[in-house]
Amino acid sequence: MSEQKSRPPQDRPWESGWAPDTTRAPGTRRLWLAGALALATITACVTAVTVMDQESGEQEDRAAEPTTLSSSAPGGLISFATPSEGGAENAGADRPRPSPTPTSSAPSAAPSPKPGKKAPKPPKTSPSPTKSPKPPSSHGISIRAVNFSDRYWRVRDGSVRLDQIGSGPEQREDATFQRVAGLSDSSCYSFTTADGRYLRHRSFVLVADSNDGSSLFRQDATFCPRVWSRSGTLTLESVNYPGRFLRHRNFQLRLDPFENSHQYYADASFQIVAGLD
């Protein structure tokens, strides 16, 4: 038979002389300790949360309140600290530089204009009236032959000839004309004398005649310049007779059809020079 060991009675002391306390349940002290520790932990957490909320509220209130000037300045104005000369560069050195984008701070006042300088006047809206063309010079022009450089156009006995001009004032006045816009074509020329007559061709001969206002007169008195190969020379072609040019023959100015010859080129080439009067 196996040996069975019996448990000692609870109300009797053990062999060592210690007897368990039967008046309370086992583990009661540990439960009290655990409860006290939990309660202390909860209390500490609640206290910490309350303190942090109070500190954050005070910081927000301080940030919202603007800094005011000293008691000597009017109340309610926002103060802007004036940087000192020595610490202007060191202040905020450990902070990142601001963005170049303009902030919402008040812009600096624009410099006032210097006294004494007037603002430029606005341009006139309406254009200035066009000035009338200046009248031709009173001295006019003279026309010289190319192959007879000592002879000029001159009105004599109503017709125009190539003459040698002396020193007399009458001859020099008869050899001086005014060049104006063509009566029939403004891109061409007309020539007037000192007494107001026009040079025109009649029966293909160049004469001085008064303007009768007719269309035929305007055409007869209009000549278009044509530049040839000779430097500084020109020929004058009739408007109403294209292909006919003014030339001199026996020193008489007349309107002849074009000829491809050296003589014709020489007789029909002229130079416009300053007036002889």
- Token pair 């039967």 is found at 22
Q: How far is CA 167 from the centre of its chain?
A: 60
What letters, b where the CB count within 10 A reaches 16 and e where it falls short, cover 76-104? eeeeeeeeeeeeeeeeeeeeeeeeeeeee
Give the pLDDT band of residue 60 (cuts 50, 70, 90): low
Q: E-strand spans in the chain?
A: 141-145, 151-156, 159-164, 178-181, 189-192, 198-202, 205-209, 223-226, 235-238, 244-249, 252-257, 270-274
Token output for 13: 């002391």
The pLDDT assigned to 113 comes to 47
Q: Cα separation of 224 and 204, whole Å? A: 16
pLDDT in tens, 138-165: 469 999 999 999 999 999 999 999 999 9
Q: How far is CA 27 from the centre of its chain?
A: 98
pLDDT in tens, 261-273: 999 999 999 999 9
The pLDDT assigned to 139 comes to 66
Overall average pLDDT of the 86-105 stretch: 47
- Within 10 A of 205 (CB to CB), how many other CB atoms are there? 13
Of 3.10.129.10, 2.80.10.50, 3.40.640.10, 3.30.565.10, the CATH number of 141-273 is 2.80.10.50
Higher-pLDDT residue of 167 and 148 is 148
With a cut of 80, say whether residue 187 has pLDDT above it: yes
Give the pLDDT band of residue 204 (cuts 50, 70, 90): very high
With a cut of 70, say whether residue 129 has pLDDT above it: no
- What are the helix (H) ranges across 179-261? 215-220
What are the extents of the domains in the chain? 141-273
